[in-house]
Amino acid sequence: MTIAVLPEPRVQARLFGERHWRQLEQIGTVVRNEQDGPPQPAALRALVEGADFAITSWGCPPLTQDVLGPAPALQAVIHAAGTVKGLVTPALWERGIRVSSGYGQLGIGVAETALGLTIASLKNMWALTQSTRSGAWSPGKEKVRELYEVTVGVVGAGKAGSHYIRLLRNFQLDILLYDPFVSSERAAAMGAVKTELDDLLSKSDVVSIHAPSLPETHKMMNRERLALMKDDAILINTARGSIVDEQALVEELRKGRLFACLDVTDPEPPAADHPLRGLPNCILTPHIAGAVNNGVKRLGQFAIDEVKRLLAGEALEGEVRAEQLSTLA
C-alpha cells in the first residue's frame, strides 16, 4: 500500500506532525514530495507512480491524465484543503478515481468562529471593551443580549452552515435557514425552519452567511436585502466577501442601524483607507475563521482518516462527485 504525499514540504509541515507521519507509516509506504516550491507535473508523475492513494493540498496543480499516467492503481485523491475545483480534471472521473475534500474540516473552524462572533456581538462586547478601556464602566450594557429567545438566520447549509446550526442547538432560540438545495424536511431534521431569504432577513436578530461563492450568490446581500434587516441586527460573514455588496453595507452601517462582523472582504485585504476599517459598528478579522495555525493539523488527520475509511470499505466523509462541482464553492 503506497501513499503519495504531493504538497511541497512547507505545506506538509503545516498539515502533519510527527504523530501524523507515524499513522501514515503504519498504513503503508509513504512517498513524500521533498522539492521546495509549487509541485510541478513532472515531479508529481514520479511521486504518484505505483501509488494507491494521493494526498494533495494547497499549491497542487490539476491532476491531468499526463500526471496520473504512471498511477494505474490509484484509488483516491484526498485533498487536505478546501475546494477541489482547481485540482480535479475529467481524467479523474473517467478513471473512477474517488475524490475527497477537507472542506468539512475547515467548516468546523468557520462555524465555531461564527458562533463566537454571534455571542460576542449579542453581548455588545466590542463596544463595552472600548468604553472600559477609556475609563467608563457601564455605558452600553443596556444593549447586551443573550443567545436566548432570539432568532438566528443561517444563509447556506453546507458543511460550515450545518455545523453552525448544530452548535446553535445548544441554546434556546429559533433558527431560520435559507438554502435552495435543502428541503423543508431536511431543515427541520437539522433543527431549523426553511424560509426564503427576504423573510429570514426581516425576522432575524443575527444573520450568519455560509453560502458558497457562485455567480448566483454574487452580491446577494445587496442594498435592498440589507434594508430588510431589523434595527440592531447583526450580520456575520465568514464565507466569501463577494456575497456582500460592501458599498451598500457601508451605507447601512453609517446609519448606525446594523452591526457587522466580517472575516472576509472583496478583495482581501481591503484598501488601507476602506471605510469598513473605520466604522465602530464593523468588526474586521483577517480571514481567520477556517484553519490558520494549529487548526491546519485537523486537515492532516482528516486525510489519514479518509485513507483508513477507504481501506475499511466505509463511506468517505468528504467525498466529492462530478455532479456536485457546480454548487460547490
The tens digit of pLDDT for each residue in 258-294 reads 999 999 999 999 999 999 999 999 999 999 999 899 9
Cell of 80: 487536505
Strand partners, 177: 154, 194
Residue 137 and residue 256 share a domain: yes
CA–CA dist 244, 247 (Å, integer): 9
Query: Residue 45 belongs to a domain with what CATH number?
Result: 3.40.50.720
Residue 300 and residue 244 share a domain: no
**Average of per-residue pLDDT across 320-324:** 86
Question: pLDDT category, 138, cuts 50, 70, 90?
Answer: confident
Query: How many CB atoms sit inside 10 A of residue 122's CB?
Result: 21
Residue 96 and residue 111 share a domain: no
**Average of per-residue pLDDT across 233-250:** 98
The residue ranges of DSSP E strands in the chain, in sequence order, are: 2-5, 29-32, 53-56, 76-79, 98-101, 151-155, 174-178, 193-194, 206-209, 234-237, 259-262, 282-284, 319-320
Residue 278 and residue 253 share a domain: yes
Residue 139's pLDDT is 87
The tens digit of pLDDT for each residue in 44-91 reads 999 999 999 999 999 999 999 999 999 999 999 999 999 999 999 999
Residue 3's pLDDT is 98
Residue 300 and residue 265 share a domain: no
Residue 279 and residue 139 share a domain: yes
**Average of per-residue pLDDT across 309-318:** 96
Residue 126 and residue 209 share a domain: yes
Average model confidence (pLDDT) for the chain?
96
Residue 77 and residue 216 share a domain: no
Residue 322's pLDDT is 83
Q: For residues 259 and 234, is the Cβ–Cβ distance under 8 A?
A: yes
Residue 183 and residue 136 share a domain: yes
Q: Is the pLDDT of residue 182 over 70?
A: yes
Residue 134 and residue 67 share a domain: no
Catalytic residues: 240, 268, 287
Number of domains in the chain: 2
Domain residue limits at 230? 105-284
CA–CA dist 30, 174 (Å, integer): 48
Residue 329's pLDDT is 62
Residue 48 and residue 175 share a domain: no
pTM comes to 0.91
The tens digit of pLDDT for each residue in 207-223 reads 999 999 999 999 999 99
Residue 239 and residue 109 share a domain: yes
